Structure formats: structure tokens, C-alpha cells
Amino acid sequence: MNDHTTPVPADSVRSAISGLKEFIESRIIGQADLVESLLIALLADGHLLVEGAPGLAKTRAVRVLADGIDASFHRIQFTPDLLPADLTGTEIYRPQDGSFRFQQGPLFHNLVLADEINRAPAKVQSALLEAMAERQITVGLQTYHLPELFLVMATQNPLEQEGTYPLPEAQLDRFLMHVRIDYPAAADERRILQLARSEAAEEAGANASPRVRIPQAAVLQARREVLGVFMSEPLEQYLLQLVLATRNPQVYSNELGRWLQYGASPRGSIALDRCARARAWLRGRDYVTPDDIQAVAAAVLRHRLILSYEAEADAITADRIVGELLSLVAVP
């Protein structure tokens, strides 16, 4: 594995991330929002919750990301009989010397796919989300640190509700972004067919081209550069006003006041700041624009808003509320 502490030249970092983006886009077709959100989460050092119907490349996306980075990857299929130790690991008894040895679980990988996270009970969800928030796992009296490069992408299938355990709002707040994806356009689906045939032919002929993986050091250096992206004082105030508007919506509209029960926490402000900076960096800029904030607002805020009974009765969605706030809060 690469030395993660060695500085990488700025040009090399941008080139590496651009190459990674091109690699993912060549294999994930018709899901531009998902690809960008995955890269933003990677650069903003956060985790991603993806919701969409089966077959929309949710699982494939994080597999492709793992193929493009020199990092370890593990997929966990969440089921009702899963136990917390199945994620974190457990103490194994060694009869030869009467001692116990900790066997690391799948959470000790760099990239983790939590497939259908809402199919496991609350205690398993909590074990995962605690690891996401604290970046460490405690077993007995011993604490084990997770890798510096650690990203969880969890998926949810919105079509099936039987046998599922919805994530509580407090746990949803641990995710940097909540991305919803839909079916691709007809032209994109044709390209998907062509790609599937091409990949099947490569596998059948065992002549797949070797993958060039970017080093973890490039990702970690890109994260540091993202933190240095400039945000002006008026834009910072605009970002904060958007989040504060979710807590005091009645200031902007009586309807919004009726629809929103609870707004985003300070964690929402931090997430919006990090994601806006990461989006600006991905576009080759060293400064944030209002468009960067507005583009990520829905994905950052939709899972942090608790709607009232009136909103649910009127079929009002969190996305509509975010859209209303974006139109009402003054842009500098």
C-alpha cells in the first residue's frame, strides 16, 4: 500500500481525481448525479446514502469506485438476522494458549458497501453508524481505529417496505448526503446495453485491460485541498441562512412553517460547507459559488428535515421544501 503521508503534487492530484472520475463515468452510465455525489462524499470525507429502485447501478457504483482506488473494499448484505459483530468483528478464543484474539470485521476496509441497510434491525444499523461517526470500534475494553480513508455507501430500496427497519432521523443525520436516483434515459440505456455486452465479451475472452488505480495519498491530499477552497463571507452567511431557514421557516412563509417540524442541525451546516467546497474543487475552481451551494442543498438537507403531519397529508416532500427555501433565501 502507498505511503499516505507523502505529499502529492497538486497537478498530480487533480490528474488522478480527473482520471478516477472518467473511469467511473465510463462504467456508470445515465447516473451523473450518483457519480458526482460519490466523488463529493469521497473528497468531503463523508458517507453516502443512496435510494433507488433495483438495477440502477447503486451497488455497481461503489464497486467501480473501489476498482479505481488502491484501497480495500467489502460488500455487506444487510439481512434481518445480521448481528453487530458481523460488522465490527469479534474476539476469537485460541485454545492452544487460552487467549482471545480480535478478528476484524468488514468495517475495517477502506470502502464499505452496506447493501439494503434498512433490512437489518436497529442494533446492527447503530453499530455501522457509530463506526461511521467515530471512525473507531470498541470491543470489550479495547478500541480499534478504522482506516484514514473510510467511506460507507449505504443503499435503500424504496419499493419494498415489508421486512424493513427504517433508519431513525438521528441516524440518518450521520450521512453526509442522501441521494435519490431514477431510471436512465433511453439513449443512456442503449449505451448501458453496449457496455454490458462489451464487459461480457472481455470476461469471456479473459482479456480485460489492466486497471490503473490511483493511490490513497492522492485522495487524502485532494481532501486537504478541498478544505482550502475559498468561500467568501457573504456566501458563508448565505449557507448559514439556508440552514437557519429550515429551523425558522415561518419567517419566510406561513406554509413552510406549517410543513416543517424540525430543521437541520449544525451537522447540516458543516455538511453543506464541505460538499459545496468539494463540488467547486471537482470543477477546477479554488472558490465556491452560489451554484455550488444550491446544487448540493437537496442531497445534504433532505434527510435532515422532519416534516409535519400537515405536510405528509398534503403530499409535500422534503425536496419541495428545499426548493422553496432556495427560492426565498436571498442570494448574495
Contact yes or no for 280/292 (Cβ under 8 A):
yes
Give the cell for residue 95.
485454545
CA distance 3 to 16: 16
Residue 201: its pLDDT value, please? Answer: 83
Numbered ranges of CATH 3.40.50.300 in the chain: 10-205
CA nearest to 150, candidates 139, 164, 136, 162: 136
b/e per residue, 157-170, with b = 16+ CB within 10 A?
beeeeeebbebeee
CA nearest to 57, candidates 31, 96, 19, 93: 31
Contact yes or no for 263/308 (Cβ under 8 A):
no
Asked if the 10-205 domain carries CATH number 3.40.50.300, the reply is yes
Numbered ranges of CATH 1.10.8.80 in the chain: 229-328
CA distance 209 to 181: 30
232 phi and psi angles, rounded to 5 deg? -70, 160
Residue 3: its pLDDT value, please? Answer: 45
Name the architecture of domain 229-328.
Orthogonal Bundle (1.10)
Residue 59: its pLDDT value, please? Answer: 85
Residue 232: its pLDDT value, please? Answer: 95
Cβ-based neighbours of 41, under 8 Å, separated by 6 or more: 47, 48, 151, 153, 176, 177
Residue 236: its pLDDT value, please? Answer: 95
Hey, which bits of the chain come out as E strands?
48-51, 73-77, 89-94, 99-104, 111-115, 136-139, 142-145, 151-156, 177-180, 260-262, 306-307
Full pLDDT tens readout for the chain, 332 residues: 444 555 666 678 999 999 999 999 989 998 999 999 999 999 999 999 999 888 888 888 888 998 999 999 999 999 889 988 899 888 888 888 877 888 888 999 999 999 988 888 888 888 888 888 888 888 777 888 999 999 999 998 777 666 677 887 777 888 999 999 889 899 999 999 988 888 888 777 655 555 678 999 999 999 999 999 999 999 999 999 999 999 999 998 888 889 999 999 999 999 999 999 999 999 999 999 999 999 999 999 999 999 989 888 888 899 999 999 999 999 98
Q: CB burial class (10 A; 0-12, 13-18, 19+) of residue 212?
A: exposed
